[in-house]
Amino acid sequence: MEKTKLAAPSSVPRHVAIIMDGNNRWAKKRLLPGVAGHKAGVDAVRAVIEVCAKSGVEVLTLFAFSSENWQRPAEEVGALMELFFSALRREARRLNENNISLRIIGDRSRFHPELQAAMREAEALTAGNNRFILQIAANYGGQWDIAQAAQRLAREVQAGHLRPDDITPGLLQTCLATGEQPLPDLCIRTGGEHRISNFLLWQLAYAELYFSDLYWPDFKPRPCAMPWPISLRASAALVRPASRSRLELVLNA
């Protein structure tokens, strides 16, 4: 595939953020172990990446593992780490072939060194790609993000490189984990919960929020030949139920 930058029509959100919730409940409903739900969720990730990339969305940020997820049972956390590691190894090549850049945001210090190395390798492999940016939030929390940005600026003040009066909302924003990326236009949460759960607290200040009752593994946009214009304002939401178990993108010219 030729590595050229796709320009997004004005009706397409530049940045979509998704809280992928409901994997465990999806598995429980089918009398399966929780890890089966997380594995099924990988297929939904691939489908959403394809739709966003072909639509001209510039950035997709997925909430994969929150800082609160460490409180889950040790067996489940271990299975999630193994799944994350294997997915990085497998999917990084596919992302690179499709000219997609991978960024991982969050506090990596708690991850196993081997997993940290896999993160760096996947990011390095895809660093030169410019069609679309996929951001994975791992061991991420919005409060942590704001605190680490404030700490960075405090160190600059302490070193004499900044004055307190130099610190503006815009400057602080550049120090967040998302850096210079455009702010999210739309945040989707699956699984029926109506909250943002410490995800991108600063960045979502003006984003539109869409809450779906579908569990994440069932949230699979319709595959098609793209690009499609996506209208945020002309339709009730980005997605709507096409049946009781699936969603399709609402597409308006």
> Measured between alpha carbons, how far is 252 from 176 in angstroms, rounded to an integer?
34
> Measured between alpha carbons, how far is 216 from 27 in angstroms, rounded to an integer?
11
Active-site residue list: 21, 69
Within 13 Å and on the Cβ side, how many CA atoms surround 106? 24
Output the furthest CA–CA distance in the chain (Å, rounded): 60
- Residue 97 in tokens: 């072939």
Of 60, 82, 62, the C-alpha closest to 21 is 62
- Residue 200 in tokens: 């991108």
Residue 196's alpha-carbon distances to 51, 55, 120, 185, in angstroms, are: 23, 25, 28, 14
Helix (H, G, I), strand (E, B) or coil at 165: helix
